[in-house]
A = this chain, B = another copy of it.
């Protein structure tokens, strides 16, 4: 899709974990408790997502901090890791100190400077997200941070995506949602948002019956499509 035909959005809203912030970076702190930190991190993240979706289907909401904590306990038990309270605290706090992907800061800076209204839409809580945005110096770019707490359900449930129209006073398809998570592509498309998939690793898309409007390798590529090449502007 060329830059000349893609754009004119009333707002651009980003998923947080995996899209703006690198969850795989948890393996550094997981190395303090596991001999295979990559596998430990992978299971922790997979269980976190699994529990969020299962609880939404069962209508048994607890907040994403609790879900992250439950997923850690299960992962530790499965890996026969006896988590001391201090280590446990470090692992949980690491979610508030995840690094943003390399190109994120500059990409948001260009979009913000161009007058785009930006937001974050995440399954996380404000208590998890606000420190994370501050830690990365990104909070100034966002007009709004939408979270699952408001609707007591998790993405990909439509009620979470619907939050964005209220604040941006726009139709769903006038808002561009940007995500690296396959389930989030399908959920956002099903809800009626315009969707950009970020596919940094070149992985196939889960076949869930909905395709993104656009796929990019990273946010720099998205910015070029939306604004033209910012370096030559």
Contacts and interface: CB of A to CB of B under 8 A. Distances in A.
Given A50-B50, A60-B190, A190-B60, A55 B208 contact: yes
Contact of A203 (B78, B157, B203): B78
B156 A74 contact: no
For chain A, the bracket of interface size reads 20 to 34
A56 B58 contact: no
Interface in A189-208: 190, 203-204, 206-208
Contact of A54 (B62, B204, B208): B208
A88 to B, nearest CB: 15
A207 B57 contact: no
Contacts of A70: 207-208
Contacts of A77: 204
Given A50-B50, A53-B53, A58 B187 contact: yes
A174 to B, nearest CB: 21
Nearest to A55: B208
